[in-house]
Amino acid sequence: MAEEQIEEKAKTFLKTIKKGKGWTNPRGIKRVPLLSSDDAIVGNLWEDVDLKDITIGDYWETYRGIKVELLKGDEVVGMMWIE
């Protein structure tokens, strides 16, 4: 898939996801799951930020799809996966 196609797909997908119920692990690290329209977990946020403030960062292809960094400003605040 071409770079422009991946970025467009990631931006489009980001507009369709929603935040799930956040939780904190025993080490005190916060996680907020990102859910697709059918409530499948497609990523997570490491900070509870507004999805409207998120932009797409770097990405890389894996055997399970494409992992995309989610940015707020210059800081990576989560990841999402697209196919």
Total-model pTM: 0.88
Q: How many domains does the chain have?
A: 1
- The single-letter code of the amino acid at 65 is G
pLDDT of residue 16: 94
- Residue-wise pLDDT for 15-33, tens only, equals 999 999 999 989 998 899 9
Q: What percent of the chain has pLDDT over 70?
A: 100
Distance of CA 50 to the CA centre of its chain: 12
**Closest alpha carbon to 58 in 75, 41, 33:** 75
d(CA 9, CA 62): 16
- Residue-wise pLDDT for 30-49, tens only, equals 899 999 999 999 999 999 99
Show the domain range for 59: 3-82
pLDDT of residue 70: 96
- For residue 15, the SS3 value is helix
52 contacts 69 by C-beta, under 8 angstroms: no
**Closest alpha carbon to 55 in 22, 80, 30:** 80
For residue 83, pLDDT beyond 90 = no
